[in-house]
Chains A and B, each alone.
Chain A
Amino acid sequence: MDSALHVNQLVMTYGKGKVTALNDISFDVERGELFGLIGPDGAGKTTLFRLLTSLLIPDSGTAHVDGFDIVKDYKEIRRRVGYMPGRFSLYQDLTIEENLNFFARVFKTTIEENYDLIRDIYVQIEPFKKRRAGKLSGGMKQKLALCCALIHKPSILFLDEPTTGVDPVSRKEFWEMLKRLKERQITILVSTPYMDEAALCDRIALMQSGKILSIASPVQTLANYEHLLYAVRADGMYRLLNDLRAAPFTERCYAFGESHHLLPAYPNLSESDVRNYLDEKNYTNLEIEQITPGIEDVFMALLEKGSEEVA
C-alpha cells in the first residue's frame, strides 16, 4: 500500500448496466507523481474521478486512495483528497475570500494554517478577494478552485480538465503551479484534452471508451511508437486528403493542423514515392516532410487500434 493510488479492475456502468463507463481499469500512481489522463469526451475520465473521490460506488473492482478503500473508508478519503470538478462549482454569490474561508473551515482548518501551500496561487487573486466568485474571469476562477481544493492540504489532488476553457497564458501558469505542488510531494491526477499538456506529466494514461490503452511516460509513449510519419501539404487540402487515403501506400492519413499526417503502410516508403504519386495529380505548392510523431499522433494511432479492437 505504498502507492498513492491503487486501482484494481474497476468497473462502472450506468443505467443498470446498459452503458459501460469504465471497463476493467487498473493502474497505480506513485506518491508525488503528476499523472495525466488523456482521452476524448466520454472516455470515462470524469467517472473515474468521481469514483476515486468517493462520489460514486463502483459496480466491481477495488481502488485505494492513499491506502484507503474508496467504498469502506470514504470518510477518510474525503479528508485527504482535493477535488476540482470539471465545472466551476464554488459559490458564485460568495466572494473569493468567503469561499476559501468556508472550505477551510469545513475541513476544520484555516487559511493561515496552510497559507504557504496556496500562497503562489492566492497572491494572484488576492487583490480581488472581495469580489464575488461569479464575477471572476475563467482563469481566476480556476485559480480560486485550485486554492479551495488545496486549502486542507490534501495528499492527493484530483483535477478534472482544469484548463478547459482557459486562455493559453493562464493554462501555462496553471501547469507551472502544478509543478510547484508536485515539488511539495502532493500526488496529482489530472485529466486534459490538450496533448501539449500531456507532455508535462510524469506519466500519462491514454483512455478511450472506458479502457486504458497505454500507460507510460510521455517520452516512453513516443518511443514505443516507432513509425515513419510524413507531413504533407499542398493547395486543395481536402482533395489531397482523399487522394492520400486512396493511395496504395497509405496505412492511415488524417488532418493535423496545417498539414496532413501520412502513416505509410510499409516502413521503406520514401518521400519521393509519395511525391511521384501526387505529381500525377497536379498539385501546386506541394510540400512533403518526414516528421517525428508527437503525442497526438501516438494517441490517434492508439485510438484507431482501440476502436478496431472494440469492433
Chain B
Amino acid sequence: MRTLRFLLQKEFRQIFRNPAIVRMILVAPTLQLLVLPLAADYEVRNINLAVIDHDHSTWSRQLTQKLAASDHFQLVDYEESYRAGFHLVEQNEADILLEFPRGFERDLIREGKTTVMMSANAVNSVKGGLGTAYALNIIGSFNKNILTEMMPTPAVSPGEQIGVVSSVRFNPLQTYPLFMAPGILAVLLTMVGAFLAALNIVREKEIGTIEQINVTPIHKWQFVLGKLIPFWVLGLVAMTVGLTAAYFAYDIVPLGGYLVIYAFAAVYMVAVLGFGLLISTLAETQQQAMFISFFFMMIFILLGGLYTPINSMPEWAITLTKFNPAAYFIRVMRMVVLKGSTFADLWPDFKTMGIFALVLNSLAVLNYRKRT
C-alpha cells in the first residue's frame, strides 16, 4: 500500500507539472461547453436562395418575399434563366433555386393550381434537405393564404381536416445546449480516461522510464493502479468543471440529481481507463497511441448518438453501438439531465457498464507485461 502511495504521489506531481494536462482539464470542458452547443446546432440558417421569376406577377413576388422574410433564407439574387441560376449554385453562392414558370399567376387563378420548381444543392445534404423542407413548409402556408384569399367563405374547407398539436416533452423549448451538453461531457471523460491515460503510459515506454520501473519490485497491480487512479480523479474533476459551466451558462441542472451522474461517471471512468490501458499495451510510441485513439474516438462519437440518433442507424450499426461504452454514457447523461432518470431506471446501464469495466481492465492487465 505504501508503494502505491508513492506511485500516486509521483504521478500527481508529474500531472500538475504538465501545463497541457491542467489546461485540458480546466479549460477544455468550459470552452467546449460554452462554445460548441451554440455553434454546432442542428438548425440551418442562412440558406442562400436564388429566384428565377419568368412570371413577374404579384403572387410570384409575394411568395418570394415570404421566403425571404423567414430567417432561414437569404435572398441572394434574381436571375433571368435557370442556367444563370445554376451557375450561382456552381459558384456556391446559392443553395436553393426557385423557378416560377411563365403564367404562374394565370394558371393559379384560372385552373386553381400551378407548379414551381425548386432545386437544392445537396453537396451539403443537411442544408439541402432541411432547406427544401423549410421552403415547402412556407409554400404550404402560402397555399393556405391563397385559398382563403380566393375563396373567402368556403362552404367546406378543402384542406387541413386533421390538425396536429405537438407537445415536446422533457426539453419543451428544444434548447439545444440542454441536449448537447451531456454529450460533450461524455466525450470529454472519454478523452481524459482513455487517451490521456494511454498516452501517459506509452510516454513512459517511449522515454524508457518504464524500463527502470520494471526492474524494481513494484507489482503489476501497483503500477496499473498508480496510473488509473490519478486519471480517474482527473476525469471526475473535468466533469465537475463541465457541469459547473453548464449550470452557469445554460442553467442545466440534472433532473435526476448529481449523485446518479457521478455514480455512473465513476463506473464509466473505470471502463474507459481499462480501454486506455489496453491501448497503451498495444502501442509502442505516443504517435501510435494517438492514431489508435483517434480511430476509436471517431467511432465513439459517430456511433455514440451524440449527433445522429442511434435509432435511425442501420441494423448493423445499432448492434455496433451496443459495444460502444460512450453510447451508454451519452444516453445515461441525457436521461438523467433531461428526463430525471434515477438509479432504478438506469440499473441495466450500470450493469452493462460494470461488465465493460471488468472486461476491458482484465484484457488490459492480461496484455500488460513487465517483461517480454
Please report A residues at the B interface, Cβ cutoff 8 Å: 53-57, 74-75, 78-79, 81, 83, 85, 87-94, 98, 102-103, 105-108, 148
Contact = CB atoms under 8 A, between A and B. Distances in A.
Interface residues of B, number: 23
B153 interface: no
A81 B207 contact: no
B18 interface: yes
A124 B10 CA distance: 24
22 contacts: A56-B372, A57-B372, A74-B371, A78-B216, A83-B215, A85-B208, A85-B211, A89-B211, A90-B209, A91-B209, A93-B17, A94-B10, A102-B6, A103-B216, A105-B2, A105-B3, A106-B6, A106-B7, A106-B213, A106-B217, A107-B216, A108-B217
B174 interface: no
B115 interface: no
B81 interface: no
Given A93-B17, A107-B216, 7 more contacts: A55-B214, A81-B215, A85-B208, A85-B212, A89-B212, A98-B10, A107-B217
A75 B215 CA distance: 9
A78 B215 contact: yes
Nearest to A84: B212
Contacts of B213: 106
Interface string B145-169: 0000000000000000000000000
B83 interface: no
B110 interface: no
B116 to A, nearest CB: 67
Nearest to B214: A55
Given A56-B372, A57-B371, A78 B208 contact: no
Contact of A108 (B3, B370, B371): B3
Nearest to A81: B215
Nearest to B370: A55
A118 B207 CA distance: 25
Contacts of A102: 6, 10
Given A78-B215, A93-B17, A105 B6 contact: yes
Given A75-B217, A89-B211, A106-B216, A56 B10 contact: no
Q: Please list the 9 inter-chain residue pairs (A to B) with the smallest Cβ-Cβ separation, ordered nearest first.
A: A89-B208, A105-B6, A83-B215, A89-B212, A106-B216, A87-B208, A53-B215, A89-B209, A78-B217
A101 B18 CA distance: 20
Contacts of B372: 55-57
B299 interface: no
Contacts of A75: 217
B interface SS class:
helix
B218 interface: yes
B14 interface: yes
A107 B6 CA distance: 11
A177 B216 CA distance: 23
A107 B213 CA distance: 11
| Interface-central residue, B18, B211, B213, B215, by most chain A CB under 10 Å | B215
A94 B12 CA distance: 11
A93 B22 CA distance: 15
Contacts of B18: 93
Given A78-B215, A98-B10, A108-B3, A55 B371 contact: yes
B218 A106 contact: yes
Contact of B212 (A54, A90, A98): A90
A79 B211 contact: no
A90 B204 CA distance: 10
| Interface-central residue, A74, A92, A102, by most chain B CB under 10 Å | A102
B235 to A, nearest CB: 21
Contacts of A55: 211, 214-215, 370-372
Nearest to B17: A93
A102 B6 CA distance: 7
Contacts of B14: 91, 93-94
A133 to B, nearest CB: 10
Contacts of A93: 14, 17-18
Contact of A94 (B13, B217, B370, B371): B13
Contacts of B10: 91, 94, 98, 102
A9 B236 CA distance: 53
A78 B217 CA distance: 6
Interface in B3-39: 3, 6-7, 10, 13-14, 17-18
Contacts of A92: 207
Contacts of B207: 89, 92
B168 to A, nearest CB: 51
A90 B213 CA distance: 9
Contacts of A90: 209, 212
A93 B207 CA distance: 12
A54 B216 CA distance: 10
A90 B217 CA distance: 16
A148 B216 CA distance: 11
Contacts of B13: 94, 98
B15 to A, nearest CB: 10
A289 B268 CA distance: 78
Contacts of B211: 55, 83, 85, 89
A85 B212 CA distance: 8
Nearest to A132: B17
A53 to B, nearest CB: 5
Nearest to B371: A55
B182 to A, nearest CB: 35
Nearest to B222: A106
Interface string B352-372: 000000000000000000111
Contacts of A89: 207-209, 211-212
Nearest to A148: B212
B11 to A, nearest CB: 10
B261 to A, nearest CB: 33
B220 to A, nearest CB: 11
Nearest to A152: B216
B215 A106 contact: no
A54 B371 contact: yes
Contacts of B370: 55
